[in-house]
Amino acid sequence: MRFLLDFHTFLWFVAGDARLSDRAREAIEELSNDRYLSMASVWEMAIKFGLSKLRLEPNFHEFLSTELERNLIGVAGIELPHLYMVAELPFHHRDRFDRLLIAQCLVENWSLVSADESLDVYGIRRLW
């Protein structure tokens, strides 16, 4: 299975947060699955870190590179077909980062590991 981790899912997973569902944790821990963090989520984290709305130790760069490597999570780039899809999406959901995750999942035929039920309206496969 191939999937994207939503911003909160990634943070909850690496922190061992109890808010992460058992099903999501098991899927992320299953090494036969291809796990990705979207560059959109990396961008969102960078913005929140820069605004001091997100604390990461020892710093953004070291936290991210360490956790991606430790957990064998790849980074999914943003490609033109993803942006073309964003342009076609109805505005059921206004969050720019979530819209890009939705577009990536639709174009790549991936699932999204996210607690956000409001994304279901787009017909993506959401794992939680």
The list of the chain residues with pLDDT below 50 reads none
Helix 96-108, helix 39-50: angle, nearest 10: 160
Q: Please report the pLDDT score of residue 33 as a whole number.
A: 97
Q: Please report the pLDDT score of residue 75 as a whole number.
A: 98
Q: Please report the pLDDT score of residue 110 as a whole number.
A: 98
**Rounded distance between C-alpha atoms, residue 116 and residue 41, angstroms:** 14
Q: Is the dihedral of CA 60, 64, 65, 67 positive or negative?
A: positive
Q: Which domains does the chain have, with CATH numbers?
A: 2-127 (3.40.50.1010)
Q: Please report the pLDDT score of residue 94 as a whole number.
A: 86
